Chain A
Amino acid sequence: QQKVQQSPESLIVPEGGMASLNCTSSDRNVDYFWWYRQHSGKSPKMLMSIFSNGEKEEGRFTVHLNKASLHTSLHIRDSQPSDSALYLCAATSGGNYKPTFGKGTSLVVHP
Chain B
Amino acid sequence: DPKIIQKPKYLVAVTGSEKILICEQYLGHNAMYWYRQSAKKPLEFMFSYSYQKLMDNQTASSRFQPQSSKKNHLDLQITALKPDDSATYFCASSQRIQAPLFGEGTRLSVL
Chain A residues 81-103 with CB under 8 Å of chain B are: 88, 90, 92, 95-103
User: A32 near B: Cβ within 8 Å?
Assistant: yes
Q: Is the CB of B97 within 8 A of A97?
A: yes
Determine, out of A19-27, A41-49, A58-66, A72-80, the stretch whose residues face the partner at the interface: A41-49
Contact indicator A43/B105 (Cβ below 8 Å): yes
Q: Which of B35, B43, B44, B56 has the most CB of A within 10 A?
A: B43
Determine if A15 is an interface residue (Cβ-Cβ < 8 Å): no
Verify A97–B43 contact, CB threshold 8 A.
Answer: no
Category for how many chain B residues contact A: 20 to 34
Residues of B within 8 A of A98 (CB): 45, 48, 55-56, 58
A30-52: CB near B (< 8 Å → 1, else 0) gives: 01101000000011111001000
- Nearest Cβ distance between residue B76 and chain A, in whole angstroms? 16
A43, B55: Cα distance in complex, Å: 23
Closest to A49 in B: B99
Q: Is chain B's binding surface mostly helix, strand, loop or mixed? A: strand
Cα separation A97 to B97 with both chains bound (whole Å): 7
A100 to chain B: closest residue by CB? B45
Query: Do A96 and B104 touch (CB < 8 A)?
Result: no
**Residues of A close to B33: CB separation below 8 A:** 97, 99
Cα A104 to Cα B42 in complex, Å, equals 8
List A contacts of B44 (CB < 8 A): 101
Which residues in B have their C-beta under 8 angstroms from that of A34? Answer: 99
Instruction: Kindly identify, within residues 87 to 111 of chain B, every residue whose CB is under 8 Å from any CB belonging to chain A.
Output: 90, 94, 97, 99-105
A31 partner residues in chain B, CB cutoff 8 A: 97
Residues in chain A near residue B43, CB distance under 8 A: 44, 88, 101, 104
Q: How far is the CA of A49 from the CA of B101 in the complex (A)?
A: 13
Residues of A with C-beta under 8 A to B101: 46
- Kindly list the 9 A-B residue pairs having the minimum CB-CB distance in the complex, ordered from nearest: A97-B55, A97-B48, A103-B42, A43-B102, A101-B43, A98-B56, A34-B99, A46-B99, A44-B102
Cross-chain pairs A/B with CB under 8 angstroms, 6 sampled: A49-B99, A97-B55, A97-B56, A99-B99, A100-B45, A104-B43
